[in-house]
Amino acid sequence: TGREGSFHTQQMQAYGTRVVGGVTPGKGGQTVLGVPVFDSVHQARQALSVDASIVFVPAPAAADAVLEAIDAGVPLIVLISEGIPTLDMIGVMAALKQSASRLIGGNCPGLITPGGSKIGIMPGHVFQPGRVGLISRSGTLTYEVVAALSDSGIGQSTCVGIGGDPVIGSTFVDLLPLFQADPGTDAVVLIGEIGGSDEEVAAEYIKQSMIKPVIGFISGRTAPPGKRMGHAGAIISGKVGMPESKVNALLATGVPVAASVDEIVARTQEALKQAPPKPKRRSKKE
């Protein structure tokens, strides 16, 4: 019912996402944009078949909104809000471990299956259906890379913006197995940035378990140590979060690390050429 939630609900509906209900405490019983509003997630779950929830709640109350969705058993929760206190997110992570819910974000643009649906704030027109997955810590860079891929005729299977805060619900290593198991994905573009060690952990997983090709990119490679660059999690502290360690970790696993958006496109084209051919369909005669 708020400005952001209302605007992006319209955008998601226009893209093809089935928005079946909304939650704003105290406004239950209203209908907004053809969508019934409930006072709680539990009430919405009792009345509707719900696959996912998207949270636009302001930062001070965002963690409570996520905890409510977890308690109601929502399978997928997308947290758009940014600036959520780290201690609040630690409590959310503890609850997630005891649940069957998956959280994307916070401080993220959401996720999209081009030509299907989107749960988030991405500009849907730059995405095209295809067979390249994308996982990114940067929302804006996601759009730039996807636009370049689409302009080159490379479509995407699913794109996920995991968020740039220090504590997020799903990391690269949480999502890479899903792309590895997805029959609609032939290659994966991984967009990291300075700060933290998620890319190094992902590199180890890729080395041990990924069969599909992965193309890497690390943004912020010229950032000065100790200075936050955009995201709260994008800060080099001592020797932790250095871009060189991330690049070297990926290179050591055989993952090509592009130095520019154009090179991401070129590397992806090469990876798709090397992808195993799809099994041919049998004709009715066979």
Supply the residues annotated as catalytic.
231
Between CA 186 and CA 277 the distance in angstroms is 10
- Give the Cα separation of 44 and 273 in Å (integer): 46
Q: Coil, strand or helix: which one is 186? A: coil
Residue 60 CA to residue 206 CA, distance in Å, equals: 36
What is the rounded distance in angstroms from the CA atom of residue 63 to the CA atom of residue 130? 34
- For 59-125, the DSSP string reads HHHHHHHHHHHHHTT-SEEEE------HHHHHHHHHHHHTSS-EEEESS--EEEETTTEEEES--GG
Q: How far apart (Å, rounded) are the C-alpha atoms in residues 17 and 95?
A: 28
d(CA 46, CA 238): 50
The helix or strand, by DSSP H or E, that contains position 52, with its residue range, turns out to be: strand 52-55
How many Å apart are CA 130 and CA 248, to the nearest integer?
Answer: 29
